[in-house]
Structure 1
Amino acid sequence: MFELLFYLVPTLMIAGVGYMAFRLVHRARRISRTWQHGLTAEARCLRMYTTTSGGGGDTSVSTSVHHVYEYTTGEGVQVRFEEAGGPATVLEGDFVTVRYLPEQPRLATESGCVLAFLGLIVVFCLGFMAVAHAMFSAADGLMP
């Protein structure tokens, strides 16, 4: 029964990493398609605000800039969206150019690095399972 944990936990971790990799590739393909085939529109920054995380004191505090934009598609549909981690140089009332896919009005190096990291996690989990299997097999051979 105890041995099951040495197989179940890494298997669940591999499944989670697989799902994260799937979502990452899906997002990267959508962004690539938007840059290649997307239309442009002028969007206006309706709101800019910051959020902080971390407790301060002995722990570090990180601040994230958020923007709320609104634009009108070529078909006359108004779209409003929020962007986290945008540039602090864009202020309320500023106009920016946005790209969107007509059917969905709402980055390769980064994605590659994250996929490589996720791959390392999978390799670690598989290695852990192999070592655990060898260890339990050796222990079974020593039992009378």
Structure 2
Amino acid sequence: MELIFYAVPTLMIAGCGFAAYLLVRRARRLSRTWAHGLTARARCLRMYTTTSGGGGDTSVRTTVHHVYEFATREGRTVRFDEEGGSATVLEGDFVTVRYLPEQPRRATALPPSRGKLVVTTGFGLTFLGVAATFCAGFITVAHMMFTESSGLMP
């Protein structure tokens, strides 16, 4: 029984750590692409939305996705899917994309916005830090409860 009070929060802390890693990795990739990437003209081949959430009494989140295609400077055609783009970009529209020559499939059509990237990454890391701290506090309380009660639950 005690294992549940230790294992579940520990797994949640590990999940928060992994999510923080992914968040920082995405921010670094975008920042590097904006700073050092080459530009190309891309065509939006498809625009679609996905929804998540339960509906009813809970909120539903809608995310806009775009599928773009562009040619690199070497003449290679690259197609990529990106979420979170502008809802004003429709199928058939042309946009400027930025890509790193060594990773053209990681291109982005998001316009450079370092301030927004810093703020959103900071809020995400803060949220994950608070969640991990809460889980660590729960482990501490559970440990105190089990050691002071000699393993007997009240």
Structure (1 or 2) with the larger CA radius of gyration: 1
Task: Give TM-score scaled by structure 1 length.
Answer: 0.87
Question: How far apart are the structure 2 equivalents of 1:56 and 1:3?
Answer: 35
Q: Which amino acid aligns with 2:21?
A: F
Q: What number of residue pairs does the alignment pair up?
A: 141
1:99–1:12 CA distance, 2 compared to 1 (3 A): same
Gaps of 5+ in 2: 106-116
Post-superposition Cα deviations, 1:76-95, rounded to whole Å, max 9, x if no partner, equal 11110112232221122111
Partner of 1:64: 63
The TM-score, its normalising length taken from structure 2, stands at 0.81
For residue 79 of structure 1, what is the aligned residue in structure 2?
78
Between the aligned partners of 1:3 and 1:104, the Cα distance in structure 2 is 47
2:126 aligned partner, one-letter code: A
Match of 1:94 in 2: 93
- Structure 2 equivalent of residue 29 of structure 1: 28
Q: Percent identity?
A: 71
How much does 1:54 deviate? 5.7
Cα 1:42–1:124, aligned 2, differ >3 Å: closer, same or farther?
Answer: same
Q: Provide the C-alpha distance between the structure 1 equivalents of 2:9 and 2:123, rounded to a whole number of angstroms.
A: 22
In 1, the alpha carbon distance for the partners of 2:46 and 2:69 equals 10
**C-alpha RMSD over aligned residues:** 2.2
Task: Tell me what 1:115 maps to.
Answer: 125
